[in-house]
Amino acid sequence: MNPTNLARFLLAQLHLDSLVGMRSPKAIRTALGKLATGNNAYDIAYKDAIERIEGQVKHQYELAKQVLSWITCAKRPLYISELQHALAVEVGEAELDEENLPQIEDMISVCAGLVTIDEESNIIRLVHYTTQEYFERTWISWFPHAQIEITTICVTYLSFNTFKSSYCRTDSEFEERLQSNKLYDYAAHNWGHHAREASTSCQGVIEFLEKQGHVEASSQALIALKEWSGHTEYSQEIPKQMTGLHLAAYLGVDDVVRDLLGSNSPDPKDSHGRTPLWWAASNGYEAVVKLLLEIDKVDINIKDKDGKTPLLRAVENRHKAVVKLLLNSAHVDINAKSKDGETPLLSAASRGHETIVKLLLDSGQVDINVKDIDSQTPLLRAASNGYEAIVKLLLNSNQVDIDAKDKSGQTPLSRAALRGHEAVVKLLLTIGIVNVDTKDKKGPDAAIMGCLGRVRG
């Protein structure tokens, strides 16, 4: 069925559902005469469906409200088992009572046709994209405390006794924990996002973050990524000794970070050498970075096990606002190198982050001709990748070494020509002082000569 026909069918179904319970032909005719048409027909039909939900007995209405609020506010689609576990959580309890799991049929039936289950994926969702759009626009009026309630349920779940033993020691143990605790993955990844949107303190958050074992269990689900690991023991690659402050900074919950700073060291290191500032900068949480920078004891140039600083991580992930904050600090080392010789300018130039390159150049402190372990400069990297705007910025500095060679003997010009970036080649040639000798350690390259010939021609 095409989308247009599906939408029409849905509207017709909603109209039919609104007639359920009519006790006479006259009542049905009257109701039919009031059915909405036109652009606002869906909104009116959804509003009518919500009013029918509210007319149910209390426990049915409460279940429907929970189902709809979770589906609407969730940060990703939810599996039916995840939502069942979420709805079974009892705040204040230390374990999940399996007898409290709602029945799938009840979860669907109380929602007046607004919810369905995808049989292939087993994901529970709203019945149509117009339904999702409607609730995204109006959810505050229907369930105004949803973000607070979801945050509380997530941290309650993560505080269960089953997680107090800290992180799992093997992949199989970790995967068994994920399988047995259906909400574990979602809660670990998203409680902080819900907490930020709640804009107020949520019950149980600080208590959860002060339980070291539970924090480490949560951080394992948050950081371990099987699909990105090329070998076994992926669940053991995570940093250990993550604290509650690390976790709050990682997820950008600035009001929680502020509360924790009153009774915790502001600069703890996890087993990978990463601090709360490192994590906040890496993930782009400006408010947390600003808060931590106001503390004298925080090391702005801390390096992790790979030698990467908060500034380098912010540059790598294109977090412009955080880069600005860090550059405004008098103590930042703008030229700090990682173990593989990477600097913020090298990273920004090679990734095409034009705005960040400009920020770094405007600082007046950056080494424009810095070289990595392969002797590649920012200009060579930008030219090699065809980033014309960045090449212009670097050339306009009047300090760049235009002919600096890497370990293979390549220059910015030969690299750009070899890869066919004719606009960059032309730009470099217009400088007038570039060395057009394209011989490297392997001798002249026909592709380079051909590109130079086309540009000159």
Residue 88 lies in a domain: yes
Residue 117 lies in a domain: yes
Angle 384-390-393 from CA coordinates, rounded to 5°? 130
Asked whether residue 60 is assigned to any structural domain, the reply reads yes
Q: Which two tokens stand for residue 344?
A: 């913020």
Range of the domain at 56: 42-142
What are the pLDDT tens digits along the chain (457 aa)? 444 444 443 443 443 344 344 343 333 333 333 444 445 767 888 888 898 999 999 999 999 999 999 999 999 999 999 999 999 999 999 999 999 999 999 999 999 989 999 999 999 999 888 888 899 899 888 899 999 999 999 999 999 999 999 999 999 999 999 999 999 999 999 999 999 999 778 889 999 999 999 999 999 999 998 765 556 789 999 999 999 999 999 999 999 999 999 888 899 999 999 999 999 999 999 999 999 999 988 999 999 999 999 999 999 999 999 999 999 998 999 999 999 999 999 999 999 999 999 999 999 999 999 999 999 999 999 999 999 999 999 999 888 999 999 999 999 999 999 999 999 999 998 875 555 555 544 445 666 666 666 666 5
Q: What are phi and psi of 378, to 5 degrees?
A: -55, -40
Six-digit token string for 192? 């902080």
pTM equals 0.85
CATH assignment of the domain containing 130: 1.10.10
What count of other Cβ atoms lies within 10 Å of the Cβ of residue 204? 19
**Which candidate, 294, 183, 174, places its Cα nearest to that of 226?**
174
- Does 5 fall in a domain? no
Instruction: Please report whether residue 91 resides in a domain.
Output: yes
376: exposed, middle or buried (Cβ count in 10 Å: 0-12, 13-18, 19+): buried
Alpha helices (runs of H) in 328-445, residue ranges in sequence order: 344-351, 354-362, 378-384, 388-396, 412-418, 422-430
Query: Could you tell me which of 5, 42, 37, 31 has the C-alpha nearest to residue 126?
Result: 42
Work out how many domains the chain is built from and give that number: 1
Two tokens at 299?
A: 């090391």
pLDDT digits (tens, 9 = 90+) for 73-129: 999 999 999 999 999 999 999 999 999 999 999 999 999 989 999 999 999 999 888
CA 391 – CA 380 distance, rounded (Å): 9
Residue 397 lies in a domain: no
Both structure tokens of 314: 């912010």
Residue 285 lies in a domain: no
